[in-house]
Structures are given as structure tokens and as C-alpha cells.
Amino acid sequence: MMLKIAVAVGAVAFVLLDANPSLWMYDKLTPSNAFFENKNVWITGASSGIGAELAVQLSEAGANVVISARRENELEAVKGKCKAGSSVKVVPLDVTDQEAMHRSVEDVVQGHFGKQGLDILILNAGKSQRLPAVKTDLQMTRDLMKLNFDSLVDMTLQVMKVDKWAEKEKGHIVVTSSVAGKLPVALSSSYAATKAAVNGYFSSLRSEFSWLRVDIVCPGPIATPIARNAASSAEGTKLLQNESDDNKMPVDRFTKLMLSGVKGPKQLFYETWISQQPALLFTGVAQYLPTVAINLSKVVGPKRIQAFEAGKDVYKMSSWVTRDDVEK
């Protein structure tokens, strides 16, 4: 009887959960975003997707928001979607341009926010990858590492220095990582490496200061342009334009959960996983049953590559799970 109940509870949880259980429950119990009122927040990678939705939801919560990305016209469009009358400043920025980024940090932290300084730095800039490892040249890997990892570290250290976080003994960093940094992901070897580096670096940085809060947010597949803009081959880029968002989490739902973690207790939400099933389950398996995850990846990985090269949507299990697989 108890076994049946446990199985039933597990089945319900599998269907309902789209985040780690503590975050899912906290989000249900604390819907208010009053925590962000009058907070000074800087979001990078804010011209589309998660960054753009963060700007919208934070403006609705009463935060003072700075949004940055390379394309000023898209940033202005995001600002136009934010709450009327809210404080949203557009700061065009290529985070891989070190000199420009350092100037922007001084302008934003000292010039725009002034004495209060920056309350929350959200590092959201990044690029994905969709290509088998053996077809990914070293330059593509270097470019991904420069954007997804190096620029985040550089900006973090510059903000901490200019805003004198160590003197204030106050600071809050939110990093958009990925479940790809937690588990084997075929077609994303270099991207996964950048996210594993992010997880390792920012976890270690957190450990060096008792006062520093660092939230590492690990999304699964989210309905944003990141997949269609992923680093790939010329042929792969064409295939990505037909990729559906049907099996991905809506970006507004993801962002709501992300902000619930940011406003929640740091002891609970230093790392959060936010994804629809089955990616959320796979992440848990990789964390707690790594041997199972490794062996599973050796079955699933080659099939995902075959599906990708055949022009199929790799986020649809039906693209790489056949009737023969089920019957076996």
C-alpha cells in the first residue's frame, strides 16, 4: 500500500514540478515581489528572452532597472514593454569588450545609481551551441567561453571593485547558468563546458565572503531565441530556424520562478533548477545517480545527434525515441 502511495506521489510530482521542490513550493506560498521595490538591478543579455522578461517583471515590481545588450534598438523595444513610468535605463554594451564594459560599470554604478550603488547584478548574457563535439572547432569553443564565462567573471570583479562591495560587506549576484552544466548534453559539449565553469567559479566565489550572496540559476529548455541563435555550422543554423518551442517552458513562467529564488532565503536557493520534464528529472538523476545518467546519455546522445542531422526537433522525444526503443 505504502509503495503504491509513493509511486502515485512520485507520478504527480513528475507531472507538476517545473523546478526543484523547495523553489516550486516557495513560489506558490510567496507570490508577492515586493522584495524588489526600489532595488537597483542591472541585467545583461536583456535584449530578448530571459533578460527581457526579467526587465518587464522587475519593472512591475518597482525595481530601478538598467538593461544591457549589444543591440540598442532591441533594448529600447524591451523598455517599451516595461511598466509605464517605471525606472528603466538602456545601456548598450558588448560584455566581451573589456574596456567598454569597465567604462559602463563606472557610469552605471557611480553615475546612475550613485551612493546607493547596485543591489543586484544579474549576469544573463550568453550563447548556446548546437553541434556535435567532433564538428566544433576550437575557435567556436573559445568564443563561447569568452562570452559565457570570461565576460561574467570580468564584469563581476569590476562591479565588486567599483561599488566597493567588500567595504560595504554587501552584494548580490545572480548568474544564469544551465542544466547543461550539470549533466551530459549531446550537441552542446562546449556550451556545457562554459556552464560547468560558471557553476564552479561562482560557487567558489560565494565561499570566499560570508556576506556575498550568489544565486546560480540553471534553466532547462526555455522558449527563447537562444536555441535558434546557437553557435552551429551553416547547415545547422538553417535547421535551428525550424525548431519548435512546444516542448519548452514559457519564458514568463521561468522568470517568475527565477525571481522567486532570488527573493527567497539564500540558504535554500543558492542553486536552482528550473525546467519542464523530462529535463528536470534528468538533472536530478545526474546529480544523485551519476552512473545512471552517464549510461543513459550514451543511449540518448547518439540518437539526438541523428535527429539533429536529420533536421528533426531534438527537444521532442518522439524525434529520437522510436517504437523499437519502447518495445525493447
Question: Any idea which residues carry the catalytic annotation?
Answer: 191
Side by side, the strands of the sheet bearing 64-68 are: 88-90, 64-68, 40-44, 120-123, 171-176, 212-219, 271-274
Query: Please, what is the end-to-end C-alpha distance for the chain in angstroms?
Result: 29
- CA-CA-CA-CA torsion for 164, 170, 174, 175, nearest 10 degrees? 50
CB 252 within 8 A of CB 279: no
Query: 3-state class of 173 per DSSP?
Result: strand
CA distances from 12 to 8, 16, 18, 46, 219 (A): 6, 6, 12, 35, 21
Main-chain phi, psi angles of 284, to 5 degrees = -65, -40
Measured CA to CA, the distance from residue 152 to residue 205 in angstroms comes to 12
CA distances from 2 to 6, 8, 14, 103 (A): 6, 10, 18, 62
Main-chain phi, psi angles of 202, to 5 degrees = -75, -30
Sign of the Cα torsion 245, 247, 253, 258 reads negative
Q: What is the amino acid identity at position 184?
A: P
Measured CA to CA, the distance from residue 262 to residue 269 in angstroms comes to 7
CA distances from 283 to 219, 247, 293, 314 (A): 10, 16, 9, 17
- State how far Cα 328 lies from the chain centre: 36
